[in-house]
Amino acid sequence: MAAELTTDSRRLALLAGSIRKSVVRSLSEAGSGHLGGSMSSADILACLYFSILRHEPLDPAWPERDRFILSIGHIAPVLYATLAEAGYFGKEELLTLRRVGSRLQGHPGRDHHLPGLELSAGSLGQGLSVAAGMAIAAKMDHSGYRIYCLNGDGELQEGSIWEAAMAASGHCLDNLTVIIDRNGLQIDGPTEKVMALEPLKNKWEAFGWNAIECDGHDFNSLLNAFNQAGMTTGRPSVIIAKTIMGKGIPSIEGDYHWHGRAPDKQQADEFIKEIVSL
Amino acid sequence: MPVGFLNRGNKATKAGFGEGLLEAGRANEKVVALGADITASVGVDLFATAFPRRFISLGIAEQNCAGVAAGLALSGKIPVFTTYAVFSALRTTDQVRISVCYNNLHVIIGGAHAGVSVGPDGATHQALEDIAVMRVMPNMTVLSPCDASQTRLAVKAAIGKCNGPVYLRFGREAMPDFTTGETGFEIGKAQLLKQGSDLTVIATGHMVWEALLAAEELEKQGIHARVLNIHTIKPLDVEMVVLAAMETGALVTAEEHQVAGGLGSAVAEAAARHCPVPIEFVGMNDSFGESGKPWELMEKFGMTASHITESCRLVLGRKR
């Protein structure tokens, strides 16, 4: 039995807002964590879990479920907030983020048995290979489920990503869709200054992928991109979602210093006010 | 011929690996093999030919191979990823650590061309650090069978009996094939190949036959050496190692690997904790290998029966 999905962008916006607030609260309670990327990916996560993925919160191991791989492990807070919003576990548990013994590890850890986690991850550049392996298995078994993998743009500097990209198109994995949180920033500053990625769309196309650019904060644009990906046969698709680090909290939007910071209690209260007022 | 054992003829452990993988593949359709371009060289060709739809060619991209193996394991397959040990264990360390071991997945990593006996290819292809790196990974089982027959059993056990990650190292060169149906193979259990009371030689892989030869030589001099085959470096059979320390009072370890971090270190850790005795380590002494004929290199770098015998004499001199 699959979870109920929607294509209503107002509903999705409400869900994304709720997810953002949960992230802010859980990070401020934890005292550490990655706010910037969690915000830039929130709309993508809302779209995936409430519109795209065939999944069942009450049966996380449902064999026919679509798989979602969070390759950028450090934005675990937004994945946790989304899973809680979808009903995999109670929202109050979000306040245990990063505490010793918690199911909500700083980077996803399946060894703590949080329902809904497909992969323990945290070292950038690995998730795409795992997603490709899952897609190969699904093809071998003639299974209909799809595999989605969220990568950061800085993460694309890792060479292992391109090994996986080559393999995915080499093996015609059209059941695999990659989404890139293209917020243009990383720890040392703008990606184009640290280690330039452009022309990014061309790179993926050169590797044999169907590359789709979209607005990562416009649900219609995202849904359209997922639709295109879903209809593509013979090769995998990558959705390059243009996003803004810190999106949803206007006072920190575009500020790369918030990549790996968590708000203190006072900042958290202010940020929540900003999210609510949107 | 060493007491109780007969060399049935030289056979490469990689041949045993290939046969065992094929048998495991016949027994279980979930078994899949990953190819990193050197399929025949590492013994996977038998499987690839028999089960072309279960053989996944990924090219010279070992980090991706390790990650793909993790994805396959998460999807109900039993993936066997094999390439030269220098690549499958060392190039992939981060992926093995996190995607495989931290996720505790049933992935079998074959480390081919282990040791200096790889020969003419030289240092870059001679894996001498793989046991050290693999055994320190949590959740990992590390296997190092002593001959082709045992390697065949080892890969089948790794696939059929283990639940989590397994690293299995084997060699390139044809070496004595001597274990029998009676020798058997049980993961985690050291094998007492020769009883003795004066000292114990604890060996793994190609060095086990050398240990038996050394023990035979020592018998002629009235020295009774016990010989243990440690085919499972992790989890180590601490009980047998400690028993050997208690009952014989001196140990010599022997491996085709750096003396730091491999079998010798694992044995020393157990002995130091439970029954400290003098230990001598036979293996690579903190150096890279080089090109040469396999036997020339074993001789040059100190990994033969005579080096074991010499170490036995040394350790007896240190015995209190």
Q: Are B64 and A164 a contacting pair at CB < 8 A?
A: yes
Measured between CB atoms, does A134 come within 8 Å of chain B?
A: yes
Give residue B91's pLDDT.
97
Q: Is residue B291 assigned to a domain?
A: yes
Mean pLDDT of B294-305: 97
Categorise residue B95: left if φ over 0, alpha if ψ from -120 to 50, beta otherwise: alpha
Which residue in A105, A111, A112, A126 has the most chain B C-beta atoms within 10 A of its own C-beta, making it the best mutation to test that interface? A126
The reported pLDDT for the residue numbered B4 is 83
Same domain, B44 and B148: yes
Contact A167/B32, CB-based, under 8 Å?
no
Residues B172 and B203 in one domain: no
Q: How far is B195 from chain A (nearest CA, A)?
A: 43
pLDDT band at A38 (very low <50, low <70, confident <90, very high): very high
Same domain, B202 and B154: no
Q: Would you call A4 an interface residue with chain B, using a CB distance cutoff of 8 Å?
A: no
Which CATH number covers residue B272? 3.40.50.920
What's the domain count of chain B?
Answer: 2
Q: Are the Cβ atoms of B77 and A138 closer than 8 angstroms?
A: no
Determine the straight-line distance between the first and last CA of chain A, rounded to whole angstroms. Answer: 34
- Quick check: is B62 catalytic? yes
- Rounded to a whole number, what is the distance in Å from the CA of B270 to chain A's nearest CA? 28
- For B219-256, the pLDDT digits (tens) are 999 999 999 999 999 999 999 999 999 999 999 999 99
Residue A111 is classified by DSSP as: G
Q: Is B2 part of any domain?
A: no
Spell out where A111-218 has E strands: 147-152, 176-182, 185-186, 189-190, 210-215
Hey, is the C-beta of A176 within 8 angstroms of any chain B C-beta? Answer: no
pLDDT (0 to 100) of residue B293: 97
How many Å lie between the alpha carbon of B243 and the closest alpha carbon of chain A? 35
For residue A278, what pLDDT is reported?
65
One domain for residues B127 and B249: no
pLDDT of residue A172: 98
CB contact under 8 A, A119 and B74: yes
Q: What chain B residue is nearest to A68 in terms of C-alpha separation?
A: B71
- What is the arithmetic mean of pLDDT over A189-216? 98
Say how many CB pairs under 8 Å bridge A and B. Answer: 99
Residue A166, classed as helix, strand or coil, is helix
Which CATH homologous superfamily contains domain A12-249+261-276? Thiamin diphosphate (ThDP)-binding fold, Pyr/PP domains (3.40.50.970)
* Whether B236 and B148 share a structural domain: no
Q: Do the beta carbons of residue B82 and residue B166 sit within 8 Å?
A: no
Q: What residues have CB less than 8 Å from A7, skipping those under 6 apart?
A: A51, A223
**Are residues A140 and B79, on separate chains, in Cβ contact within 8 Å?**
no
- H/E segment holding residue B271: helix B263-274
The distance from CA A105 to its chain's CA centroid, rounded to whole angstroms, is: 16
Instruction: Report yes or no: B54 at the A interface, CB cutoff 8 Å.
Output: yes
Q: Which domain holds residue B251?
A: 191-318
Residue among A109, A134, A141 whose CB faces B71 most closely: A134
> Domain check: are B30 and B162 in the same one?
yes
Are the C-beta atoms of residues B242 and B274 closer than 8 Å to each other?
yes
Is there a single domain that holds both residue B251 and residue B311? yes
Split at pLDDT 50, 70, 90, the class of B2 is low
Contact A160 B64 (CB under 8 A): yes
- Quickly state the pLDDT bin for B3 (edges 50, 70, 90): low
- Whether residues B76 and B195 share a domain: the answer is no
| pLDDT at residue A45, as a whole number | 98
Answer for the pair B71, A149: CB distance below 8 angstroms, yes or no: no
Interface residue of A129, A145, A162 to substitute, partner B, most B CBs within 10 Å: A129
Over residues B5-15, the mean pLDDT reads: 95
Q: Say whether both B94 and B225 belong to one domain.
A: no
Alpha helices in B80-147 (DSSP H): 85, 93-95, 130-135
A61 vs B: CB within 8 A: no
Which residues in chain A have their CB less than 8 angstroms from residue B80's CB?
A: none
Q: What is residue A21's three-state secondary structure?
A: helix
Both structure tokens of B295: 């036997």
- Contact (Cβ atoms closer than 8 angstroms) between residue A181 and residue A241: yes
CA distances from B171 to A11, B34, B35, B85, B209 (A): 61, 19, 18, 9, 14
Q: List CB contacts (< 8 A) between A171 and chain B.
A: 56
B74:A121 CB<8 A: no
Residue with token string 């550049």: A125
Q: One of B19, B23, B62, B129 is an active-site residue; which one?
A: B62
Question: CB of A112 within 8 Å of any CB in chain B?
Answer: no
Cβ contact, residue pair B64, A134, below 8 Å: no
Instruction: Answer yes or no: do A134 and B72 touch at CB < 8 A.
Output: yes
Contacts of B138 in chain A (CB under 8 A): none
Domain final residue pick, B118, B147, B176: B176
Average pLDDT along chain A: 96
Do the Cβ atoms of B99 and A163 come within 8 Å? no
Q: Domain for residue B104, yes or no?
A: yes
CA distance B308 to B204: 13
Residues B148 and B226 in one domain: no
**Residue in the structure block whose two tokens are 């003419």:** B120
Looking at chain A, the whole-number percentage of residues with pLDDT higher than 70 is: 99
Strand B232-234 relative to strand B141-143: parallel, antiparallel, unpaired? antiparallel
Within this chain, do residues B139 and B99 fall inside the same structural domain, yes or no? yes
Please tell me the predicted confidence (pLDDT) of residue A4. Answer: 78
Segment B279-307 shows an average pLDDT of: 98
Residue contact A133–B74, C-beta within 8 A: yes
Residue in chain A nearest B66 by alpha carbon: A129
Domain residue ranges of chain A, discontinuous segments joined by +? 12-249+261-276
Is the pLDDT score of B120 beyond 90? yes
Q: Is A208 exposed, middle or buried (0-12, 13-18, 19+ CB in 10 A)?
A: middle
Give how far A132 is from chain B: nearest CA, Å: 6
- Quick one: average pLDDT of B129-139? 98
- Judged against a pLDDT cut of 60, whether residue A1 lies above it is answered with no
The per-residue pLDDT for range A218-250, each reduced to its tens digit, is: 999 999 999 999 999 999 999 999 999 999 999
Is residue B34 left, alpha or beta, with left meaning phi > 0 and alpha meaning psi from -120 to 50? Answer: beta
* B186: in domain: no
Shared domain check, B38 and B171 = yes
d(CA A257, CA B194): 65
pLDDT(B1) > 60: no
Residue B144 reports pLDDT greater than 70: yes
CATH number at residue B137: 3.40.50.970
Task: With cut-offs at 50, 70 and 90, classify the pLDDT of residue B320.
Answer: confident
**Longest CA span, chain B:** 61
Q: Of the candidates A130, A135, A167, which has its C-beta nearest B99's C-beta?
A: A130
Query: What residues of chain A lie within 8 A of the CB of B72, using their CB?
Result: 133-134, 136-137
Whether B182 is in a domain gets the answer: no
Alpha-carbon gap: A173 to the closest alpha carbon of chain B (Å): 13
- Residue A2: predicted pLDDT: 62
Candidate from B64, B72, B74 with C-beta closest to A167: B64
What average pLDDT does the segment A136-143 reach?
Answer: 98
pLDDT at B263 over 80: yes
Average pLDDT (B189-196) is 97
